[in-house]
Amino acid sequence: MIYRRLVEEGLIPPRGYSLEVVGTAGSARRLVAWEAVDALLGEGPVLYVDLSGRYTHMLRLKGRVPEGLYLYTTPSPGDIVSLMEGGGYSLVVLDSLPRLFFDMEAPYRGRWGATALVLYTGLALAARDGRFIALNYLSRRPFGDSLFTHYFTHRVRVSAGGDGLRVEKLYPGSGEIVLGDVKGGWEEGDAPRPV
């Protein structure tokens, strides 16, 4: 399991983190979050802010929503912050950072501030020993890299290819794991296929 390996290999701590997971389309960046949800549901409720609609789609394919999983699909930063602060969640996932920015109804500058507020709330959760994962898109650089980098205690880049799934630690420090037991190349939004 990818999430457990990230913790075991020291790429992220077991608690107290605000993690940015970046990758290109088809990189399996969502797989890290999906497996974190599966791993942490036993510890308490999980909030999945599914602005991309990918996780909701996968759950429909599976035909069930796990008990303790709360889905939120509206790009309303105020509501998201309220949910994050008041829920007592074992994990909060934001899927995805660009969707939050582009889909909210606010003036351009207001979107930057509202997105930063959500990320700050994720960082505050980490300071209280919580867990926050934000999924981000990578082209040459992650979306909002120059503004949002400081809101994450940990950052990883995910890529999928012929040798399996590669997770590279970007901050703090460096490190890498390659998981040969997971095959990349699935279409973004499809459920991952184990080999």
pLDDT by residue (tens digit) across 127-143?
999 999 999 999 888 99
Provide the domain limits for residue 114. Answer: 2-179
**What is the pLDDT averaged over residues 139-167?**
90
Residue 71: phi and psi, rounded to 5, are: -100, 140
pLDDT at 2: 86
For residue 149, what is the domain's CATH number? Answer: 3.40.50.300
N-terminal to C-terminal alpha carbon distance within the chain: 13
Residue 183 predicted with pLDDT over 60: no
pLDDT, mean of residues 95-117: 94
pLDDT at 182: 56
10-61 pLDDT, tens digit per residue, is: 999 999 999 999 999 989 899 999 999 999 999 999 999 999 999 999 888 8
Residue located via tokens 């950072």: 97
Q: Does the residue 138 lie in any domain? A: yes
| CA–CA separation, 178 and 105 (whole Å) | 40
Total domains present in the chain: 1
